[in-house]
Amino acid sequence: MKRLKLFLCAAALVTSASFAQTTTLTPGTVSYTIQQDGKNLGAASYTVQNAPNKYVLTSNGKMTESKFSYAFSNTQKIDTALNLITAQLNGVVSGKAVSFTATSDPTGRQFKFDISANGQQQTNTVDRNLNTVMLTDLDPAGYMLLTQVAMRSPANAWVLIPKENGFLVPVKFSPQSDTPGRLNGQPLSVKHTSAAISSQNAITVELFYSPDGKLLEADLPEQNFYVIRDGFKLTNRPKPPAPPHGQAPPPQDQQQDQQGQPQQQPPQQQ
């Protein structure tokens, strides 16, 4: 089988024209099945909890395939504009434990990473952009947040990848035609957006969601993995578009909003 190209990856970081834009996430737990070639390999879920001026988003998942196993747990704090504040990601890949912690610095302008893998400790810093969303491989919480960002149609978007010492790559959203599906036996018209991650050799995530933004399915066609909400089924899964080559968004200090003013960075919160 094709193994995960991204060991533990994090999700789209985007700059929105509206700095104060807020998003309402519905509290509760949603469960998904992890599939490959029609076989159930495992399960994952996320839980949204309200907190003062923020959400606490916890997620976990586990899958096993032949001699390969993978499990993760992730706890994130995000503000009401979907800016990532902190994240604590722990994983076990074929018996080897790893961890990745992201915290915003006192200025709110950068993230500090602490990574533990293969018996080694590493640290790094990257720019902290607006609408930071963390995505772990096969994590429905990240795909749900990625969907919320895609629905905003941002001019620039990024993915934060906790691989090696952690780094940023651009992501390009491409809306696709609606496709039919069924949720708990009821027919519905399903929205579809393709997210191409990285400007070179892009890896795509196909996002399928309801008109009000509920994540129904996330496909990773290059790895042949499917994260499918319990009770949902696409009538006919469309063929994914070819990943675009794309270009990296400009540096943060060169990004401007629709009024020509420099974009701000997310506010610092605890």
The DSSP call for residue 259 is T
The whole model's pTM is what? Answer: 0.84
Q: Give the per-residue pLDDT at 5.
A: 44
* CATH value at residue 143: 2.50.20
* Residue 220 maps to a domain: yes
Report which DSSP code applies to 269.
-
pLDDT confidence of residue 269: 62
The number of distinct structural domains making up the chain is 1
pLDDT tens for the chain, residues 1 to 270: 444 444 443 333 333 333 446 778 999 999 999 999 889 999 999 999 999 999 999 999 999 988 899 999 999 999 988 888 999 999 999 899 999 999 988 888 888 999 998 888 989 888 888 767 788 899 999 999 999 989 998 887 777 877 777 777 778 899 999 999 999 999 999 999 999 888 577 889 999 999 999 999 999 998 899 999 999 999 999 988 876 644 444 444 444 343 333 345 666 665
How far from each other are the two terminal CA atoms of the chain, in whole angstroms?
Answer: 42
φ and ψ at 163, to 5 degrees? -120, 145
**Looking at this protein, which amino acid is placed at residue 138?**
L
**For the purposes of burial, counting CB atoms within 10 Å of the CB of 88, is it exposed (0-12), middle (13-18) or buried (19 or more)?**
middle
Tell whether 265 is covered by a domain. no
CA separation for the pair 147, 138 (Å, rounded): 14
Residue 122 lies in a domain: no
In a domain, 28, yes or no: yes
- Give the whole-angstrom CA distance, residue 169 versus residue 183: 34
Query: For position 244, what pLDDT does the model report?
Result: 61
Q: Is residue 219 part of a domain?
A: yes
pLDDT at residue number 4: 47
In a domain, 103, yes or no: no
Residues in Cβ contact with 231 at an 8 Å cutoff, skipping those fewer than 6 apart = 183, 184, 185
DSSP state letter for 58: E
